[in-house]
Protein backbone atom coordinates (compact mmCIF):
# COMPACT_ATOMS: atom_id res chain seq x y z
CA UNK A 1 0.00 0.00 0.00
CA UNK A 2 2.79 2.38 0.90
CA UNK A 3 4.63 1.51 -2.29
CA UNK A 4 1.56 2.22 -4.34
CA UNK A 5 1.19 5.60 -2.69
CA UNK A 6 4.75 6.58 -3.55
CA UNK A 7 4.12 5.43 -7.08
CA UNK A 8 1.05 7.62 -7.39
CA UNK A 9 2.84 10.57 -5.85
CA UNK A 10 5.70 10.26 -8.25
CA UNK A 11 3.29 10.29 -11.12
CA UNK A 12 1.07 13.06 -9.91
CA UNK A 13 3.74 15.36 -8.54
CA UNK A 14 6.87 14.86 -10.55
CA UNK A 15 5.81 13.66 -13.96
CA UNK A 16 3.75 16.75 -14.87
CA UNK A 17 6.88 18.92 -14.50
CA UNK A 18 8.47 16.98 -17.32
CA UNK A 19 5.53 16.41 -19.63
CA UNK A 20 6.77 18.45 -22.57
CA UNK A 21 5.62 17.89 -26.12
CA UNK A 22 8.35 15.80 -27.64
CA UNK A 23 7.98 16.03 -31.40
CA UNK A 24 6.69 12.64 -32.50
CA UNK A 25 8.73 10.96 -35.21
CA UNK A 26 6.72 10.19 -38.29
CA UNK A 27 6.45 6.46 -39.10
CA UNK A 28 8.44 6.88 -42.29
CA UNK A 29 11.01 9.53 -41.49
CA UNK A 30 10.89 12.00 -44.38
CA UNK A 31 14.53 13.19 -44.50
CA UNK A 32 17.09 11.28 -46.57
CA UNK A 33 20.69 11.67 -47.72
CA UNK A 34 19.83 11.55 -51.42
CA UNK A 35 16.72 13.74 -51.50
CA UNK A 36 18.31 16.03 -54.13
CA UNK A 37 20.05 13.23 -56.04
CA UNK A 38 18.03 13.71 -59.20
CA UNK A 39 16.79 17.31 -58.78
CA UNK A 40 20.01 18.99 -57.65
CA UNK A 41 22.91 16.52 -57.59
CA UNK A 42 25.55 19.23 -57.13
CA UNK A 43 23.97 20.89 -54.09
CA UNK A 44 26.49 19.62 -51.49
CA UNK A 45 29.51 20.45 -53.68
CA UNK A 46 28.26 23.92 -54.59
CA UNK A 47 27.55 24.87 -50.98
CA UNK A 48 30.84 23.43 -49.79
CA UNK A 49 32.80 25.46 -52.32
CA UNK A 50 31.02 28.69 -51.46
CA UNK A 51 31.34 28.01 -47.74
CA UNK A 52 35.11 27.73 -48.15
CA UNK A 53 35.15 31.33 -49.44
CA UNK A 54 32.72 32.51 -46.78
CA UNK A 55 34.77 31.13 -43.89
CA UNK A 56 38.03 32.28 -45.46
CA UNK A 57 36.62 35.81 -45.67
CA UNK A 58 35.93 35.70 -41.93
CA UNK A 59 36.16 32.63 -39.70
CA UNK A 60 33.47 34.13 -37.48
CA UNK A 61 31.03 33.39 -40.30
CA UNK A 62 31.31 29.73 -39.32
CA UNK A 63 30.12 30.51 -35.79
CA UNK A 64 27.39 32.76 -37.14
CA UNK A 65 25.94 30.00 -39.34
CA UNK A 66 26.06 27.33 -36.65
CA UNK A 67 24.11 29.59 -34.33
CA UNK A 68 21.61 30.57 -37.03
CA UNK A 69 20.73 26.91 -37.60
CA UNK A 70 20.24 26.39 -33.84
CA UNK A 71 17.93 29.41 -33.58
CA UNK A 72 15.96 28.12 -36.56
CA UNK A 73 15.48 24.60 -35.18
CA UNK A 74 14.29 25.65 -31.71
CA UNK A 75 11.33 27.55 -33.16
CA UNK A 76 8.75 25.41 -35.06
CA UNK A 77 11.53 23.00 -36.02
CA UNK A 78 14.20 23.46 -38.68
CA UNK A 79 12.00 25.17 -41.24
CA UNK A 80 13.78 28.38 -42.18
CA UNK A 81 11.29 30.39 -40.10
CA UNK A 82 14.13 32.43 -38.60
CA UNK A 83 14.97 33.80 -42.05
CA UNK A 84 11.59 35.42 -42.74
CA UNK A 85 11.58 39.21 -42.80
CA UNK A 86 8.81 41.11 -41.10
CA UNK A 87 5.95 42.10 -43.39
CA UNK A 88 2.49 43.58 -42.82
CA UNK A 89 1.03 40.13 -42.44
CA UNK A 90 3.96 38.28 -40.84
CA UNK A 91 5.71 39.24 -37.62
CA UNK A 92 8.92 37.24 -38.02
CA UNK A 93 11.46 36.06 -35.44
CA UNK A 94 14.31 38.45 -36.13
CA UNK A 95 13.12 41.04 -33.61
CA UNK A 96 12.53 38.54 -30.79
CA UNK A 97 14.81 39.24 -27.81
CA UNK A 98 17.29 36.34 -28.30
CA UNK A 99 17.78 37.39 -31.95
CA UNK A 100 17.55 41.16 -32.20
CA UNK A 101 20.89 42.98 -32.52
CA UNK A 102 22.61 39.64 -32.16
CA UNK A 103 21.69 36.95 -34.68
CA UNK A 104 23.57 37.29 -37.94
CA UNK A 105 24.17 35.51 -41.23
CA UNK A 106 20.95 36.26 -43.10
CA UNK A 107 22.97 37.74 -45.99
CA UNK A 108 25.17 34.67 -46.13
CA UNK A 109 22.11 32.45 -46.59
CA UNK A 110 20.86 34.83 -49.32
CA UNK A 111 24.20 34.39 -51.05
CA UNK A 112 24.04 30.58 -50.88
CA UNK A 113 20.42 30.63 -52.00
CA UNK A 114 21.22 32.78 -55.04
CA UNK A 115 23.90 30.38 -56.17
CA UNK A 116 21.71 27.32 -55.63
CA UNK A 117 18.76 28.97 -57.40
CA UNK A 118 20.91 29.54 -60.49
CA UNK A 119 22.01 25.90 -60.32
CA UNK A 120 18.64 24.22 -59.58
CA UNK A 121 15.81 26.75 -59.39
CA UNK A 122 12.99 26.18 -56.89
CA UNK A 123 14.37 22.91 -55.54
CA UNK A 124 16.49 23.34 -52.41
CA UNK A 125 14.81 24.61 -49.26
CA UNK A 126 16.29 27.39 -47.15
CA UNK A 127 15.96 25.11 -44.10
CA UNK A 128 18.27 22.59 -45.80
CA UNK A 129 20.70 25.38 -46.73
CA UNK A 130 20.92 26.30 -43.04
CA UNK A 131 21.56 22.68 -42.08
CA UNK A 132 24.16 21.96 -44.76
CA UNK A 133 26.01 25.25 -44.25
CA UNK A 134 26.16 24.71 -40.46
CA UNK A 135 27.82 21.33 -41.07
CA UNK A 136 30.28 22.75 -43.60
CA UNK A 137 31.01 25.67 -41.27
CA UNK A 138 31.89 23.25 -38.49
CA UNK A 139 34.34 21.30 -40.66
CA UNK A 140 35.97 24.45 -42.03
CA UNK A 141 36.99 25.63 -38.55
CA UNK A 142 38.34 22.22 -37.57
CA UNK A 143 35.26 20.44 -36.28
CA UNK A 144 33.79 17.02 -37.07
CA UNK A 145 32.06 15.83 -40.25
CA UNK A 146 28.62 14.25 -40.29
CA UNK A 147 26.21 13.28 -43.06
CA UNK A 148 23.39 15.78 -43.49
CA UNK A 149 19.90 14.43 -44.05
CA UNK A 150 17.88 16.67 -46.37
CA UNK A 151 14.34 17.24 -47.61
CA UNK A 152 13.11 19.84 -45.11
CA UNK A 153 10.31 22.18 -46.06
CA UNK A 154 10.39 25.92 -45.51
CA UNK A 155 7.61 27.21 -43.31
CA UNK A 156 4.93 29.60 -44.43
CA UNK A 157 4.89 31.19 -41.01
CA UNK A 158 7.18 32.24 -38.18
CA UNK A 159 6.72 32.57 -34.44
CA UNK A 160 7.89 35.65 -32.59
CA UNK A 161 6.36 34.21 -29.42
CA UNK A 162 8.23 30.90 -29.57
CA UNK A 163 11.47 32.63 -30.56
CA UNK A 164 11.10 34.61 -27.36
CA UNK A 165 10.24 31.67 -25.10
CA UNK A 166 11.96 28.59 -26.60
CA UNK A 167 15.48 29.95 -26.97
CA UNK A 168 17.67 29.82 -23.87
CA UNK A 169 19.22 33.00 -22.51
CA UNK A 170 22.62 33.38 -20.80
CA UNK A 171 21.24 34.42 -17.43
CA UNK A 172 18.68 31.66 -17.23
CA UNK A 173 19.03 28.85 -14.67
CA UNK A 174 20.61 25.55 -15.68
CA UNK A 175 17.43 23.60 -14.90
CA UNK A 176 15.32 25.88 -17.03
CA UNK A 177 17.78 25.52 -19.92
CA UNK A 178 17.79 21.72 -19.53
CA UNK A 179 13.99 21.85 -19.74
CA UNK A 180 14.10 23.87 -22.96
CA UNK A 181 16.36 21.30 -24.63
CA UNK A 182 14.28 18.44 -23.25
CA UNK A 183 11.11 19.93 -24.72
CA UNK A 184 12.84 19.81 -28.12
CA UNK A 185 13.60 16.13 -27.62
CA UNK A 186 17.24 16.80 -26.71
CA UNK A 187 18.90 15.22 -23.68
CA UNK A 188 21.35 16.70 -21.18
CA UNK A 189 24.14 14.96 -23.10
CA UNK A 190 22.92 16.58 -26.34
CA UNK A 191 22.73 19.93 -24.59
CA UNK A 192 26.26 19.90 -23.15
CA UNK A 193 27.67 18.77 -26.50
CA UNK A 194 25.72 21.33 -28.55
CA UNK A 195 26.72 24.23 -26.30
CA UNK A 196 30.28 23.15 -27.14
CA UNK A 197 29.67 25.21 -30.29
CA UNK A 198 30.68 28.13 -28.07
CA UNK A 199 34.23 26.99 -28.81
CA UNK A 200 33.90 29.39 -31.75
CA UNK A 201 32.36 32.84 -32.00
CA UNK A 202 31.81 35.94 -29.95
CA UNK A 203 29.41 37.29 -27.36
CA UNK A 204 28.45 40.87 -26.67
CA UNK A 205 29.14 42.63 -23.40
CA UNK A 206 25.42 42.87 -22.56
CA UNK A 207 25.37 39.07 -22.49
CA UNK A 208 28.37 38.57 -20.21
CA UNK A 209 28.39 41.69 -18.01
CA UNK A 210 26.55 40.02 -15.14
CA UNK A 211 29.07 37.19 -15.31
CA UNK A 212 32.32 39.21 -15.21
CA UNK A 213 31.03 41.49 -12.44
CA UNK A 214 29.36 38.51 -10.75
CA UNK A 215 30.92 35.24 -9.70
CA UNK A 216 33.71 35.11 -12.31
CA UNK A 217 36.43 35.76 -9.74
CA UNK A 218 35.02 33.11 -7.42
CA UNK A 219 34.75 30.38 -10.06
CA UNK A 220 38.17 31.13 -11.57
CA UNK A 221 40.07 31.72 -8.33
CA UNK A 222 42.25 28.63 -8.76
CA UNK A 223 43.77 29.97 -11.93
CA UNK A 224 46.27 32.83 -11.41
CA UNK A 225 46.12 33.96 -15.05
CA UNK A 226 42.42 34.64 -14.75
CA UNK A 227 43.11 37.90 -12.89
CA UNK A 228 44.54 39.43 -16.05
CA UNK A 229 41.83 37.79 -18.13
CA UNK A 230 38.93 39.22 -16.16
CA UNK A 231 40.63 42.63 -16.12
CA UNK A 232 40.83 42.57 -19.92
CA UNK A 233 37.18 41.52 -20.15
CA UNK A 234 36.17 44.38 -17.86
CA UNK A 235 38.03 46.80 -20.10
CA UNK A 236 36.00 45.56 -23.05
CA UNK A 237 32.81 45.58 -21.01
CA UNK A 238 32.31 48.42 -18.48
CA UNK A 239 30.15 47.79 -15.43
CA UNK A 240 27.45 50.32 -16.26
CA UNK A 241 24.75 48.98 -18.49
CA UNK A 242 24.52 51.02 -21.67
CA UNK A 243 28.31 51.42 -21.87
CA UNK A 244 29.95 49.22 -24.48
CA UNK A 245 26.95 46.89 -24.60
CA UNK A 246 27.77 45.62 -28.07
CA UNK A 247 31.53 45.19 -27.57
CA UNK A 248 32.49 41.57 -28.14
CA UNK A 249 34.75 38.95 -26.60
CA UNK A 250 35.40 35.36 -27.66
CA UNK A 251 33.64 32.64 -25.67
CA UNK A 252 36.76 30.47 -26.04
CA UNK A 253 39.56 32.94 -25.47
CA UNK A 254 42.34 30.41 -26.15
CA UNK A 255 41.38 29.24 -29.67
CA UNK A 256 38.44 31.47 -30.68
CA UNK A 257 38.44 30.45 -34.35
CA UNK A 258 39.09 26.77 -33.90
CA UNK A 259 36.41 24.16 -33.34
CA UNK A 260 38.05 22.10 -30.59
CA UNK A 261 37.27 21.09 -27.02
CA UNK A 262 39.05 24.02 -25.39
CA UNK A 263 35.69 25.61 -24.52
CA UNK A 264 35.27 22.85 -21.92
CA UNK A 265 38.71 23.65 -20.54
CA UNK A 266 37.62 27.24 -20.00
CA UNK A 267 34.78 25.88 -17.87
CA UNK A 268 37.18 23.68 -15.87
CA UNK A 269 39.26 26.79 -15.17
CA UNK A 270 36.10 28.63 -14.09
CA UNK A 271 36.51 31.07 -16.97
CA UNK A 272 33.31 30.48 -18.94
CA UNK A 273 32.18 33.78 -20.44
CA UNK A 274 28.43 33.27 -20.10
CA UNK A 275 26.71 32.44 -16.83
CA UNK A 276 24.86 29.64 -18.63
CA UNK A 277 28.14 28.12 -19.87
CA UNK A 278 29.90 28.17 -16.50
CA UNK A 279 26.79 26.84 -14.74
CA UNK A 280 27.18 23.52 -16.56
CA UNK A 281 30.35 22.98 -14.54
CA UNK A 282 29.77 24.99 -11.39
CA UNK A 283 26.06 24.90 -10.58
CA UNK A 284 24.98 22.84 -7.57
CA UNK A 285 22.27 21.44 -9.86
CA UNK A 286 24.89 20.47 -12.43
CA UNK A 287 26.18 17.13 -11.14
CA UNK A 288 25.34 15.44 -14.43
CA UNK A 289 26.44 18.30 -16.68
CA UNK A 290 29.70 18.67 -14.76
CA UNK A 291 30.60 15.04 -15.48
CA UNK A 292 29.89 15.50 -19.18
CA UNK A 293 31.90 18.73 -19.34
CA UNK A 294 34.86 16.93 -17.73
CA UNK A 295 34.51 14.05 -20.18
CA UNK A 296 34.64 16.35 -23.23
CA UNK A 297 37.55 18.30 -21.74
CA UNK A 298 39.48 15.05 -21.40
CA UNK A 299 38.38 13.42 -24.59
CA UNK A 300 38.01 15.54 -27.74
CA UNK A 301 36.94 12.52 -29.79
CA UNK A 302 34.01 11.87 -27.46
CA UNK A 303 33.00 15.52 -27.88
CA UNK A 304 33.21 15.39 -31.68
CA UNK A 305 31.20 12.17 -31.84
CA UNK A 306 28.46 13.47 -29.60
CA UNK A 307 28.39 16.90 -31.27
CA UNK A 308 27.84 15.24 -34.66
CA UNK A 309 25.08 13.00 -33.33
CA UNK A 310 23.40 15.85 -31.51
CA UNK A 311 23.55 18.18 -34.52
CA UNK A 312 21.80 15.49 -36.58
CA UNK A 313 19.22 15.13 -33.82
CA UNK A 314 18.67 18.88 -33.66
CA UNK A 315 18.43 19.01 -37.45
CA UNK A 316 15.73 16.36 -37.31
CA UNK A 317 13.32 18.58 -35.38
CA UNK A 318 10.75 19.12 -38.09
CA UNK A 319 7.80 21.41 -38.54
CA UNK A 320 4.90 18.99 -39.08
CA UNK A 321 2.69 21.52 -40.84
CA UNK A 322 3.94 20.97 -44.38
CA UNK A 323 5.43 23.88 -46.27
CA UNK A 324 7.16 24.86 -49.48
CA UNK A 325 10.52 25.58 -51.05
CA UNK A 326 10.86 29.34 -50.82
CA UNK A 327 12.24 31.15 -53.82
CA UNK A 328 13.59 33.91 -51.58
CA UNK A 329 14.55 32.83 -48.06
CA UNK A 330 13.22 36.10 -46.60
CA UNK A 331 9.66 35.76 -47.90
CA UNK A 332 6.94 33.17 -48.22
CA UNK A 333 6.15 32.39 -51.89
CA UNK A 334 3.21 34.36 -53.27
C1 LIG B 1 22.29 27.26 -23.01
C2 LIG B 1 22.08 27.40 -24.28
C3 LIG B 1 22.65 28.56 -25.01
C4 LIG B 1 22.69 29.88 -24.62
C5 LIG B 1 22.14 30.50 -23.36
C6 LIG B 1 23.38 30.58 -25.66
C7 LIG B 1 23.59 31.94 -25.67
C8 LIG B 1 24.41 32.59 -26.55
C9 LIG B 1 24.73 33.97 -26.49
C10 LIG B 1 24.21 34.95 -25.45
C11 LIG B 1 25.58 34.24 -27.50
C12 LIG B 1 26.21 35.59 -27.85
C13 LIG B 1 25.25 36.38 -28.70
C14 LIG B 1 25.60 37.84 -28.74
O15 LIG B 1 26.16 38.36 -27.77
O16 LIG B 1 25.27 38.49 -29.76
C17 LIG B 1 25.79 33.03 -28.23
C18 LIG B 1 26.60 32.89 -29.33
C19 LIG B 1 26.76 31.72 -30.03
N20 LIG B 1 26.05 30.56 -29.83
FE21 LIG B 1 24.94 30.11 -28.22
N22 LIG B 1 23.74 29.70 -26.64
C23 LIG B 1 23.30 28.47 -26.29
C24 LIG B 1 23.40 27.32 -27.02
C25 LIG B 1 23.97 27.25 -28.27
C26 LIG B 1 23.90 26.11 -29.16
C27 LIG B 1 23.10 24.84 -28.85
C28 LIG B 1 24.60 26.41 -30.28
C29 LIG B 1 24.80 25.63 -31.53
C30 LIG B 1 24.77 24.32 -31.64
C31 LIG B 1 25.14 27.73 -30.07
C32 LIG B 1 25.98 28.38 -30.93
C33 LIG B 1 26.48 29.66 -30.75
C34 LIG B 1 27.54 30.22 -31.55
C35 LIG B 1 28.31 29.52 -32.63
C36 LIG B 1 27.69 31.54 -31.11
C37 LIG B 1 28.65 32.60 -31.67
C38 LIG B 1 27.93 33.42 -32.72
C39 LIG B 1 28.71 34.60 -33.25
O40 LIG B 1 29.94 34.63 -33.18
O41 LIG B 1 28.05 35.53 -33.76
N42 LIG B 1 24.72 28.22 -28.86
N43 LIG B 1 25.05 32.03 -27.64
C1 LIG C 1 6.83 18.84 -46.96
O2 LIG C 1 5.53 19.26 -47.29
C3 LIG C 1 4.81 18.34 -48.09
C4 LIG C 1 3.47 18.93 -48.37
O5 LIG C 1 3.47 20.31 -48.40
C6 LIG C 1 4.67 17.00 -47.37
O7 LIG C 1 4.08 16.05 -48.21
C8 LIG C 1 6.05 16.50 -46.94
O9 LIG C 1 5.93 15.34 -46.16
C10 LIG C 1 6.78 17.57 -46.16
N11 LIG C 1 8.11 17.11 -45.85
C12 LIG C 1 8.63 17.18 -44.63
C13 LIG C 1 10.04 16.75 -44.49
O14 LIG C 1 8.00 17.57 -43.66
| Residue ranges covered by each domain of the chain | 29-167, 196-310
CA 143 – CA 329 distance, rounded (Å): 27
Residue 18 pLDDT greater than 90, yes or no: no
Mark whether 71 is an active-site residue. yes
CA 188 – CA 190 distance, rounded (Å): 5
Instruction: Compute, in angstroms, the gap from residue 157 CA to the centroid of ligand 2.
Output: 15
Percent pLDDT > 90 in the chain is: 90
Q: Which CATH class is domain 29-167?
A: mainly alpha
Ligand nearest to the CA of 149: 2
Q: What is the pLDDT of residues 155-214, one digit of tens each?
A: 999 999 999 999 999 999 999 999 999 999 999 999 999 999 999 999 999 999 999 999
Ligand 2 proximity of 318 Cβ (cutoff 6 Å): yes
Q: What is the pLDDT of residues 28-47, one digit of tens each?
A: 799 999 999 999 999 999 99
Taking all residues of the chain, what is their mean pLDDT, rounded to a whole number? 93
**256, 202 contact by CB (below 8 A):** yes
**10-19, 108-117, 220-229: least confident range:** 10-19
Angle at 201 between CA 70 and CA 149, to 5 degrees: 35
pTM to 2 decimal places? 0.93
Ligand nearest to the CA of 104: 1
Ligand 2 proximity of 322 Cβ (cutoff 6 Å): yes
Residue 237: burial class (beta carbons within 10 Å; 0-12, 13-18, 19+): buried
From the candidates 69, 71, 198, 265, give the one annotated as an active-site residue.
Answer: 71
CATH 1.10.150.20 is the classification of domain 196-310: no
Query: Tell me, what's the pLDDT at 4?
Result: 38
Amino acid sequence: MKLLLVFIMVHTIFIPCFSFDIPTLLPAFPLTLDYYKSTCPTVFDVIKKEMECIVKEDPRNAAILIRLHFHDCFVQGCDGSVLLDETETLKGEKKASPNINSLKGYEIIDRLKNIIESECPGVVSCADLLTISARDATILVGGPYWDVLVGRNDSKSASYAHATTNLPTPDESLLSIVAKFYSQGLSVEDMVALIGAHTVGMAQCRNFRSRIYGDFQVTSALNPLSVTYVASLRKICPANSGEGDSNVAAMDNVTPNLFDNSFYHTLLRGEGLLNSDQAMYTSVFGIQTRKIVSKYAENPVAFFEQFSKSMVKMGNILNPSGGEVRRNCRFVNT
